[in-house]
Amino acid sequence: MTDLAATARAWAAQDPDAGDRAEIEGLLAAGTAAADAELADRFSGRLEFGTAGLRGLVGAGPNRMNRAVVAQTTAALARWLDVHRPQARRTGVVVGCDARHRSTELADEATAVLAGDGIPVHRLPDRRPTPLLAFAVRHLGAAAGVMITASHNPPAYNGYKLYLGDGAQIVPPVDAEIEALIGQVGPLSGVPLADLSDPLVVRHGDEVSEAYVRSVVAAAPTGRSPDEPLSVVYTPMHGVAGDLFLEAVGLAGYPAPSVVAAQAAPDPDFPTVAFPNPEEPGALDLAFADARALGADLVLASDPDGDRLAVAVPDPSASAGWRRLTGDEVGVLLGAFVLDHVRDGWRPPGEEGARPLVAASIVSSTMLAKIAADAGVPFVATLTGFKWIVRAVDAVPGTRLVFGYEEALGYGVSDVVHDKDGTGAGVAFLALASDLRARGSTLDEHLGSLMRRYGVHRTAQHSISTHDPEDRMARLRASPPVEIADLKVVRSADLSAGCVWQEGLPALPPADVLAFWLDSGGRVLVRPSGTEPKLKSYVEVVREVQDGDLAGALAAASRELDAVGAALEPLLGG
């Protein structure tokens, strides 16, 4: 404990926040086993850039989100920009934040460090969604962007997302280069801080938000207008997307949805949900209750920072009378809708001269690739994370992204925002649902027609909480399965050294992912979570529809999906 105590005292001595210093000092003074364990965890390492930037519990110490960690990271960013993006001293960096605990003060810290280093800061209004920050970087011609958010993590978390001038989140080797520079920052007392009223800090009003809303609405495909508009229930889930989502819906010409009142205002405690993630069971219960009371046609939900979209439809067989569509179902429906427009010659504004391209992460359904091939549009599979999806065009020169998605409810319609964007996706989905109603069809019926044409593609994700995901991945590499649920593994791939995933396209970058293809036509991918202590597996089962028997194909696919899922827990060490 002596070395740990000395390390903790040294950290506290340079921590700029009085509350965080007191937190460390209180743990040191407690002298209990629980306090010692807490200190050991807080100083077990430093938050590192993962799939979506830095993310961790809010609190004092290097393994937590706090002002000191933000100051160190931002000082390192400033040094990196000086070497790699010297124009930053002219064009500046955009800084934004959501409504989570301490988001504003952490954004203030990043602002003060950047301006203190002589870098102009475009400070967006507080409590705004992540896609706005990604849009603003390119809209304002900035060299980088910093967004303080933890997306859909529990209330105790916050995070730091970093974007470069292309409006996309950083990818290797930039993350490693900045982390290496963090070690060179030295005591924070030596990091100059500007006053937030410094002339280098430009505080933007609503003009950037208005440009964002106009742009995402202009980029969304349109559909026929039904005689009777859809009745829609919407929830921002205590997050920050609500105002801009409603503005976009109105500008696109759709009636205002009914907003779940108890979840309408931003609240960092997320009091009405156990976990503020629209994928989690129970997260949409209040929306479903409102939808039942109103006799609504559709439920839409944003996650807390507005970059993801959940969709639910009426389903008498479901216990709540409503069923949330999976991320793959929404991705396929939206992707097919966009590709139908592409067939008719449609292009989003600014993309008329480029060949359209669609993309999805390798853990998402393979169905979109088949739809794209049928439309004669290039498809690219990427690593997990929208930072890779928006860069899919690099694999096929002369193309522009018209649609991309990942199964975790992330969608991008056009390349107006170089990140997933729940608002743009929501407007596009309203166009699709309205068009189907005008044609006398429904979302379920349309999904069924796509399955009859391209096959049933059932997908599921399984997570196992573990403190040692890397060790479990190593064991799986050392002893890979020869069969899963009595299905033979006919092919496997280890992406740790990079991998050619699609013939004729560049190899994917190295990633901690294992893939297994089964003799039934299904597949399983396994990877550690980039934001949580979990091992994740992604299962896809494919069945052709024979003689028009969609129900039979669905039932067979569901049985295999369940069997493979049950076999994975002991295989992965759960």
> The domain 455-572: what is its CATH number?
3.30.310
DSSP string for residues in 243-255: HHHHHHHHHTTPP
At the topology level of CATH, where does 328-450 sit? Alpha-D-Glucose-1,6-Bisphosphate; Chain A, domain 3 (3.40.120)
The DSSP letter of residue 58 is B
- Confidence label for 569 from pLDDT (cuts 50, 70 and 90): confident
Q: Is 486 exposed, middle or buried (0-12, 13-18, 19+ CB in 10 A)?
A: exposed
CA distances from 41 to 44, 329, 350, 365, 450 (A): 5, 39, 49, 37, 49
pLDDT in tens, 20-55: 999 999 999 998 999 999 999 999 999 998 767 899
Do 384 and 469 form a contact (C-beta atoms < 8 A)?
no
Query: Under 8 Å CB-to-CB from 134, ≥6 apart: which residues?
Result: 145, 147, 163, 167, 168, 169, 417, 418, 419, 421
Active site residues per annotation: 151
Domain boundaries, the chain: 1-44, 48-205, 211-324, 328-450, 455-572
Displacement of CA 217 from its chain's centroid (Å):
21
Region of poorest pLDDT, from 177-186, 315-324, 344-353: 344-353
pLDDT of residue 345: 81
Rg of the chain over all Cα atoms, to the nearest angstrom: 24
Displacement of CA 528 from its chain's centroid (Å):
16
**Which amino acid, one-letter code, is at 353?**
G
Q: Which residue is associated with the tokens 């007392």?
A: 189
At the topology level of CATH, where does 211-324 sit? Alpha-D-Glucose-1,6-Bisphosphate; Chain A, domain 3 (3.40.120)
Q: Is 406 helix (H, G, I), strand (E, B) or coil?
A: strand
Which pair of tokens denotes residue 475?
């064991």
Q: CA 566, CA 462: separation in Å to the nearest integer? A: 10
pLDDT in tens, 114-168: 999 999 999 999 999 999 999 999 999 999 999 999 999 999 999 999 999 999 9
Rounded mean pLDDT of 297-325?
Answer: 97
The correct answer on CATH 3.40.50.300 for the domain covering 48-205 is: no
Q: What H or E segment, with its residue span, contains residue 57?
A: strand 54-57
Strand order in the sheet with 379-382: 379-382, 355-361, 399-406, 410-413
Question: Model-level pTM?
Answer: 0.95
Q: CA 417, CA 138: separation in Å to the nearest integer? A: 9
Query: ∠ at Cα 91 (150, 401), nearest 5°?
Result: 60
At residue 532, does pLDDT exceed 80?
no
Q: CA 108, CA 129: separation in Å to the nearest integer? A: 17
pLDDT of residue 187: 93
pLDDT > 90: percent of the chain: 91
211-324 shares its CATH topology with 328-450: yes
DSSP string for residues in 516-553: EEETTS-EEEEEE-SSSSEEEEEEEEEE---TT-HHHH
